Structure formats: structure tokens, C-alpha cells
């Protein structure tokens, strides 16, 4: 009877029936189908929020979220609400201890219950993903410390899988829009800072592939595919077999992958266009220098059987933590667009999202260019300029303006009122105005610019930012800043080991080559040689050579490098609570659980790069060079002293005349004394800076992993400072 009653209810509520049907067909993932009703019939939209970072130390984040988000969601009325990770902060007040805090999770649960209630939206359309902060110090999913599974909306609704798919259908299933969410956080959640990357497994990639393929058996019904997760692909590792999320997304030619994680402090253009490259030795494995990629020019194949272009957009959004950002994502007849809203200045009365034509900088695709050139596009989707308008007050007018910048000025070529395509029962207001789109076909992607203006019944006017467009699908040129390139253009997992080994080999070579030169040639670079050549290389050679002449320091640095390569760097507490400890090497963490039943080798790679590379590049390398410079400065000072004191006059006769000055009593003194004194002082200050930087890092690690520096990492902590102290002592002047 219970099963019959459930089936009767599902027949009454189509959404429930669709959910039941798909959930029973897949045990590893959860599929949902939502039939979106009440026009406009051509467009669906969703809201994305990310990196909320609710914190007991920063209550204003949750307060603002509770005050600003419900009215915004009520006004926008989205079909989905996607929260892409870092729901809680999990950090101490000094930002050094990173582990779970149940108080933050209770607050998150209470706030979200209030959000759902006050927005008037169905709780089932909320999808909140786990971020790395939500996984700090969680030894295993389902553990008592896994508060995400207990307090998140996904956890409360039984979405226990790492992959969840939801399809929005329009016009009785004629249009499908597939959203696939994925959780690629560590299976064993380490504490920060070495919990920074997404770690998709082969099983997760297979599930994502399966979810994205669920409608491929109906090729005549086009499906727009969007995936959402926490980590950008530049901070996502490959699986054990070497596959990546990028491979899966290119295979299915996603419209977009939306994510969070990086926040807004790195820049506003945290976006990246991915295009498949079939070149074997492609630099894209390591770098992508431009936000956009230009497709290779080839013969145009307009046959309907031609393989589709493998491409997708990656759109990282800002964070709620600092910038109070929200994103509206719309799909209008296959055209995907978005608008980012900044709530730092308070709530918004009107929000406008142009849905066509698309912004050529961040939304144009090679496939749309190909369809336009081959005339395979849907003409009706090009015949009007369209925009979604959300407002708390009735809208009295919406105007579309198009500017031509051909002659360097903003010359208006279209200034036309738009008409609301919906009615009082619509989910939202889609405005449109007919235009002759062929008149705007141009070889330049940024000649024409679009702006929408809306005025409500209160007389308030809202204007969108000018955005370039290209009806023929060309890419506008946008350059990353160096910070944006650093976090979006660099594939850090692929770069970690090359940078690591280049750094280690370089450090070993600057120690071994001068030693080998002294051993085989038995000639030394002297101060006289450096003075004669006036070359940078000879000066560096003198610095490295003189370090070899301080044998204890030289062998100490060499031994320290071999220690970093062959032995654990330190031992610490890697989970929120418990007695399970691990030790870290440059390859990752080795963690053995206290029950002695399980052991995890080298997890957290390449996450450990945030500890390894700064130590090698900003501590070890400067320490070696500073030590050699101190030894060389002592030799140079001695040479100058001998030259101005009258010794070796034959060798230094030319230098004597320039080097000797007399004090007020007629005594001879050297002009080099003052300069030499300050050079040594600068080097000593540099040594102090290196030690300060090193001890600051050690303090952060000590607090992060609850370590005693003398017990858990004495060599790492004391090696460099002791070597510097020894060199300073050996090179002091008599």
C-alpha cells in the first residue's frame, strides 16, 4: 500500500515522479528532472553563490547573507540555486589553525533554513557543494567530524553521492538544460594549508561522464550542459590514471563549468576558454597565456555529420566572504550568459541580464561561429535582442541601445524600446526587440557594444555595463593580469614537479659546480680577477667559490638538501581531532590511522607545494647565496685592506692611488672601509630577514598541525638558521 500511495502521489506531482524514476536507476549518483512551467518558454535561469565562509570570528558574513539573499532570490525566482563550496570557514582567528568547527555548521544550517523560508523557493532546488574548507581535518566521509553530511542541504536531502545531476526542461521536454554538480574534495581531508586542490578520482570522472551522457540517446533534442564544482581546473589534480575533468568536459563540449575557490582578490577576469588541442607537445598542459584561445584555421566543414567542436567556458565567480557576490546564469535557446551582482552596497531594486547577443569577451564559442558561418544556427534565436529584467517594482520601460565604435566613438545605431514577452503568470520578465542581426556581422569582435536600460514605476533607472558582442561568434580579446594568469592560466599540478626538480637541481648545482671547479682546476677566482673583468658572472663565481672555502657550511647546506629529498620534513596532527598523525615529504603526506588498519601514502600532492616551493625558493636559495656573499665580502675586504695598506704594491699600484685618502690628522685611510662596512651590514640584515621569514613559516606550520618544533621538525626548523649563524661567525672581521 505504501508503494502504491507513493506512485499515486508521483503521478499527481510530475517532478516527484521524475525524481523517483532517476534516483532508482542510479545508485552512485542522484538524477532529478524539473519541468519548468509558466513562461517565458525559451529561457531558464539559475543563481550561483560561492565561498560563503561563515565564521564564528566574522559573524557579519552570515548576517548579510540572511538579510540580502532572501529578497534577491524572491525577486529573481531561479529554477536552481547553486552554492559552489566553502560554506564554512574552518579557520581560527589568526587564520593559522584550519579544522572543522561545528558551531559554524549549525549557523549555516539555521541561515539556510531561513533563506528557503523567506525566499519562497523549494528547498529541493538548492544544491550546496563541499569546498576544501568544508573538508579541513575530516578523516573520512561519514565520520563524526563530517559536518557537511549532517548540516548541508545536500546532506539533509540524502544527496550522498559525489555527483548530482538535475535537468531543467522547457516546452514539455523539447528543450533540456542539464546541470551536473561534482564534489572533488580530498577523500581524506587534511588540515590546511596543504588542502588546496581538487582531487577527482577515476570513479568520480566516470560518474561525471555518465551524468553528462544521460540525454545523448536523443540527438534530435539539443541539450545545454553545464557543470558546477568548487575548484577551478588550474587547481584540480588528475586522477590516478592521468585523466582530468578537462578531458571529460571537452568530450561533452560543455556550455560552461562554473566554480569558486579563488575569490575576487586575484582579479575580475577569472575566466578561461578551453579548446581541444590535438598537438602532442602542447604547452596547454602547463600554461594557457590568454583568456581566449583562437581555433586553428582549417577547411570549413559544414556537413551535418561533422564532429562538434570540443570546447567549454570556465567561469570562476567572486566570493560572498569579501565581495558579497551573486551570479545569475541564464540559458536562452542554447545561448548561455551570466551577470555578476555585487551586494557590497546593499540590496538591488532592479537586475538586468542580457541573454542575446552574448558578450564576445567571455561567452562567444567556436561552435556558435561555426554554426553561423555554415548557417546551421536557429534563426529565431538571432532575430531579437533579449534581456531578463528582475525588479521589486513594476517596470515601465526597457530600452536596448547598440553603439558602433568603428570610428573610435560610441555612436548610437540602435535605440529601441523592448517588449515584455511574458505575462502576470510568468516566472520572470524576458524583454525583446526585433533587429536585423545580419547588419551587425563584422570581422571585429568588439566593434558593436550593447547596453540595456530599465526604468521602474518609481522612476529608478538601472543601466547595464557596455558589453561587446559578435553575432558571428568571434572572440573578443581580453588579457589577464599577472595575478589572474597566475591562478587561472597555470596548471599547477603539471607544474609542481618540474618547478620542484628545477629548484633542487639548481641548488645542488650551485653547490657542486664551484666545488668541482676548485678540485679539478685548482685555480681560484680572486678579487683581482673580479675587479679586472667587472663581470657579473665572475662576481657570482667568487660568491659560490668562497662558500666552498667554509667547508662546514658547504657540507651543511648539501646535507640539508639531501635531507629534504630523502627524509620527512615534519610530523603533525592532520585531522581535526584524534591521535592520528602523519609526516610530510615533498611528495605528500603519509598518514597512518591509529587503528593500524589503514595507511594513506602521499596524499595531498600537489597541495604540499604551498609549503615545499616557498621554502626552497624563498628560504634555502637566499640562505645559500647570502652565506656565499658573506664569505666573499670578507675576502674582498681583505684584498682591499692589503691593497691600501701598501702591501703588494706591484699588483695594486694603480689601485693604491685611487684608494688612499687622508683623515684630518694626515693619517692614511681607505675609502673602501665605509662601503665594505655597509655591504656586510646589508648582508646581515638579509640573513635576519631570511630567518624571520623561515620562523614565521615554522610558526604557521606549528599551529596548523599542532607540532613541537624541537620534537616534530628540528632539522627543518633549525637547519637554515644554524648554518647562517655559523657563516656569520666564521666570516667576521678580525
pLDDT score, position 377: 82
What does the H/E/C string look like for 532-581?
Answer: HHCCHHHHHHHHHHHHHCCHHHHHHHHHHHHHHHHCCCEEEECCCCCCCE
Q: CA-CA distance, 687 to 725, in Å (whole number)?
A: 9
Average pLDDT, the chain: 87
CA distances from 540 to 106, 275, 546, 596 (A): 59, 44, 10, 52
**Helical axes 536-548 vs 492-521, angle rounded to 10°:** 80
CB distance 86 to 50 below 8 Å = yes
Once rounded to an integer, what is the mean pLDDT over residues 159-187? 91
CB distance 335 to 226 below 8 Å = no
The H or E element spanning position 343 is none
167 strand-pairing partners = 33, 178
Judge whether residue 304 has pLDDT over 70: no
**Would strands 175-182 and 223-228 be described as parallel, antiparallel, or unpaired?**
parallel
User: Cell numbers of 424, please?
Assistant: 502576470
CA distances from 675 to 173, 492, 680, 686 (A): 82, 44, 9, 17
pLDDT score, position 577: 82
Q: What share of the chain is helix, strand, coil (3-state, %, to 5)?
A: 40, 20, 40
pLDDT (tens digit, 9 = 90+) per residue, 384-398?
999 999 999 999 999
Least confident residue range of 24-33, 443-452, 540-549:
24-33
pLDDT score, position 733: 67
pLDDT band at 368 (very low <50, low <70, confident <90, very high): confident
Judge whether residue 319 has pLDDT over 70: yes
Once rounded to an integer, what is the mean pLDDT over residues 512-519? 87
Least confident residue range of 294-298, 329-333, 419-423, 721-725:
294-298
pLDDT score, position 532: 62
Judge whether residue 734 has pLDDT over 90: no
Side-by-side strand order, sheet with 223-228: 30-35, 163-170, 175-182, 223-228, 256-259, 311-316, 271-275
pLDDT score, position 301: 72
Once rounded to an integer, what is the mean pLDDT over residues 668-675? 46
pLDDT band at 527 (very low <50, low <70, confident <90, very high): low
The H or E element spanning position 409 is none
User: Cell numbers of 177, please?
Assistant: 538544460
pLDDT score, position 660: 45
pLDDT score, position 25: 37
Least confident residue range of 137-141, 319-323, 370-374, 597-601:
597-601
Three-state secondary structure call for residue 407: coil
Judge whether residue 602 has pLDDT over 60: yes
Judge whether residue 54 has pLDDT over 60: yes
Higher pLDDT, 240 or 281: 240
Residue 172: closest CA among 225, 121, 221 = 221
Q: CA-CA distance, 711 to 705, in Å (whole number)?
A: 13
Residue 124: closest CA among 166, 162, 160, 85 = 166
Q: What is the pTM for the complete model shown?
A: 0.90
Say which residues have a Cβ less than 8 Å from residue 26's Cβ, sequence separation at least 6.
210
DSSP conformation letters of 596-641: SS-EEEEESTTTTHHHHHHHIIIIIHHHHHHHHHHHHHHHHHHHHH
pLDDT (tens digit, 9 = 90+) per residue, 492-509?
999 999 999 999 999 999
Q: CA-CA distance, 173 to 177, in Å (whole number)?
A: 10
Q: CA-CA distance, 718 to 713, in Å (whole number)?
A: 9
* Total Cβ atoms within 10 A of residue 577: 13
DSSP conformation letters of 459-485: --EEEPPPEEE-TT-PPPP-PPPHHHI
Place of cell 533534442: 221
Higher pLDDT, 28 or 717: 717
pLDDT band at 124 (very low <50, low <70, confident <90, very high): very high
Q: CA-CA distance, 336 to 226, in Å (whole number)?
A: 9
Place of cell 665580502: 633
Long-range contacts at 18-24 (CB < 8 A, ≥ 24 apart): 19/124, 22/165
What is the DSSP secondary structure assignment for residue 287, as one 8-state letter? B
The H or E element spanning position 127 is strand 126-128
Whats the size of the chain, residue-wise?
A: 734
Q: CA-CA distance, 453 to 466, in Å (whole number)?
A: 11
CA distances from 687 to 429, 614, 620 (A): 65, 16, 11
Judge whether residue 650 has pLDDT over 50: no
The H or E element spanning position 69 is helix 60-76
Least confident residue range of 200-209, 271-280, 722-731:
271-280
Q: CA-CA distance, 595 to 500, in Å (whole number)?
A: 34
Q: CA-CA distance, 158 to 161, in Å (whole number)?
A: 9
Q: CA-CA distance, 678 to 698, in Å (whole number)?
A: 30
pLDDT (tens digit, 9 = 90+) per residue, 140-154?
988 899 999 999 999
CB distance 733 to 591 below 8 Å = no
pLDDT score, position 109: 98
Domains of the chain: 32-293+306-489 (3.60.21.10), 493-643+676-731 (no CATH)
Burial class (CB in 10 A: 0-12, 13-18, 19+), 476: buried
User: Cell numbers of 660, please?
Assistant: 688612499
Alpha helices in 120-183 (DSSP H): 147-151, 153-156
Judge whether residue 487 has pLDDT over 70: yes
Give the percent of the chain with pLDDT over 90. 68
Judge whether residue 649 has pLDDT over 50: no
pLDDT score, position 528: 63
pLDDT score, position 533: 63
pLDDT score, position 173: 67
Q: For the chain, what is the radius of gyration of the CA atoms?
A: 32
The H or E element spanning position 506 is helix 492-521
pLDDT band at 296 (very low <50, low <70, confident <90, very high): low
Amino acid at each position: 500500500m505504501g508503494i502504491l500511495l507513493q506512485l499515486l502521489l508521483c503521478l499527481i506531482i510530475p517532478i516527484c515522479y521524475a525524481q523517483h524514476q532517476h534516483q532508482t536507476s542510479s545508485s552512485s549518483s542522484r538524477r532529478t528532472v524539473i519541468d519548468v512551467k509558466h513562461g517565458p518558454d525559451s529561457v531558464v535561469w539559475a543563481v550561483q553563490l560561492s565561498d560563503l565562509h561563515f565564521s564564528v570570528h566574522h559573524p557579519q558574513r552570515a548576517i548579510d547573507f540572511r538579510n540580502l539573499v532572501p529578497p534577491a532570490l524572491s525577486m529573481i525566482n531561479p529554477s536552481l540555486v547553486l552554492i559552489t563550496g566553502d560554506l564554512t570557514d574552518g579557520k581560527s582567528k589568526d587564520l593559522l589553525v584550519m579544522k572543522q568547527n561545528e558551531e559554524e555548521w549549525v549557523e549555516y544550517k539555521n541561515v539556510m533554513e531561513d533563506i528557503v523560508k523567506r525566499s519562497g523557493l523549494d528547498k529541493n532546488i538548492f544544491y550546496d557543494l563541499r569546498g576544501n574548507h568544508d573538508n579541513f581535518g575530516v578523516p573520512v566521509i561519514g565520520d563524526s567530524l563530517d559536518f557537511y553530511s549532517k548540516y548541508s542541504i545536500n546532506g539533509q536531502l540524502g544527496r550522498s553521492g559525489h555527483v548530482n545531476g538535475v535537468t531543467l526542461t522547457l516546452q514539455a521536454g523539447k528543450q533540456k538544460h542539464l546541470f551536473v554538480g561534482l564534489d572533488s574534495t580530498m577523500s581524506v581531508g587534511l588540515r590546511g594549508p596543504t588542502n588546496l586542490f581538487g582531487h577527482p578520482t577515476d570513479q568520480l570522472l566516470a560518474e561525471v561522464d555518465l551524468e553528462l551522457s544521460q540525454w545523448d540517446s536523443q540527438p534530435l533534442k539539443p541539450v545545454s550542459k553545464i557543470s558546477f564544482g568548487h575548484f577551478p581546473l588550474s587547481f584540480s589534480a588528475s586522477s590516478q590514471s592521468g585523466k582530468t575533468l578537462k578531458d571529460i568536459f571537452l568530450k561533452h563540449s560543455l556550455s560552461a563549468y562554473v566554480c569558486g575557490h579563488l575569490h575576487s582578490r586575484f582579479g575580475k577576469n577569472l575566466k578561461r576558454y578551453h579548446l581541444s588541442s590535438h598537438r602532442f607537445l602542447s604547452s596547454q598542459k602547463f600554461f594557457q597565456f590568454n583568456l581566449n584561445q583562437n581555433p586553428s584555421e582549417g577547411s570549413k566543414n559544414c556537413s551535418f555529420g561533422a564532429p562538434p567542436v570540443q570546447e567549454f567556458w570556465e567561469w570562476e565567480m567572486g566570493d560572498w566572504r569579501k565581495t558579497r557576490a551573486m551570479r545569475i546564469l541564464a540559458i536562452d535557446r542554447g545561448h548561455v550568459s551570466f551577470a555578476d551582482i555585487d551586494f557590497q552596497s546593499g540590496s538591488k531594486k532592479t537586475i538586468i541580464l542580457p541573454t542575446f547577443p552574448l558578450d564576445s569577451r567571455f561567452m562567444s564559442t567556436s561552435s556558435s561561429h561555426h554554426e553561423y558561418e555554415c548557417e546551421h544556427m536557429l534563426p529565431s534565436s538571432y532575430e531579437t535582442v533579449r534581456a531578463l529584467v528582475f525588479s521589486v517594482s513594476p517596470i515601465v520601460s526597457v530600452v536596448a541601445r547598440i553603439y558602433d565604435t568603428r570610428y573610435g566613438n560610441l555612436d548610437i545605431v540602435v535605440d529601441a524600446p523592448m517588449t515584455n514577452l511574458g505575462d502576470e503568470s510568468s516566472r520572470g520578465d524576458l524583454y525583446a526587440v526585433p533587429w536585423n542581426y545580419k547588419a551587425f556581422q563584422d570581422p571585429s569582435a568588439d566593434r558593436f557594444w550593447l547596453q540595456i536600460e530599465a526604468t521602474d514605476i518609481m522612476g529608478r533607472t538601472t543601466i547595464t555595463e557596455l558589453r561587446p558582442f559578435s553575432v558571428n561568434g568571434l572572440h573578443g580579446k581580453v588579457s589577464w593580469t599577472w595575478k589572474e594568469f597566475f591562478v587561472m592560466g597555470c596548471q599547477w599540478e603539471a607544474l609542481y614537479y618540474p618547478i620542484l626538480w628545477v629548484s633542487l637541481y639548481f641548488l645542488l648545482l650551485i653547490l657542486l659546480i664551484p666545488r668541482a671547479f676548485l678540485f679539478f682546476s685548482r685555480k681560484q677566482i680572486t678579487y683581482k680577477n673580479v675587479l679586472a673583468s667587472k663581470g657579473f658572472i665572475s662576481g657570482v663565481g667568487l660568491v659560490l667559490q668562497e662558500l666552498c672555502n667554509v667547508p662546514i657550511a658547504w657540507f651543511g647546506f648539501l646535507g640539508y638538501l639531501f635531507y629534504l629529498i630523502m627524509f620527512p620534513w615534519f610530523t603533525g596532527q592532520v585531522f581535526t581531532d584524534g591521535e592520528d598523525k602523519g609526516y610530510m615529504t615533498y611528495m605528500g603526506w603519509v598518514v597512518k590511522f591509529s587503528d593500524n588498519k589503514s595507511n594513506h601514502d602521499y596524499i595531498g600532492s600537489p597541495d604540499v607545494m604551498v609549503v615545499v616551493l616557498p621554502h626552497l625558493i624563498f628560504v634555502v636559495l637566499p640562505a645559500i647565496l647570502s652565506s656565499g656573499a658573506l664569505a666573499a665580502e670578507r675576502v674582498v675586504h681583505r684584498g682591499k685592506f692589503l691593497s691600501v695598506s701598501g702591501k703588494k704594491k706591484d699588483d695594486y699600484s694603480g689601485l693604491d692611488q685611487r684608494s688612499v685618502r687622508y683623515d684630518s690628522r694626515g693619517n692614511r685611510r681607505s675609502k673602501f672601509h665605509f662601503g665594505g662596512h655597509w655591504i656586510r651590514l646589508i648582508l646581515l640584515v638579509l640573513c635576519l630577514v631570511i630567518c624571520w621569514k623561515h620562523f614565521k613559516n615554522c610558526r604557521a606550520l606549528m599551529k596548523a598541525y599542532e607540532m613541537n618544533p624541537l620534537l616534530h621538525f628540528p632539522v627543518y626548523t633549525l637547519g637554515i638558521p644554524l648554518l647562517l649563524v655559523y657563516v656569520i661567525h666564521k666570516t667576521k672581521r678580525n
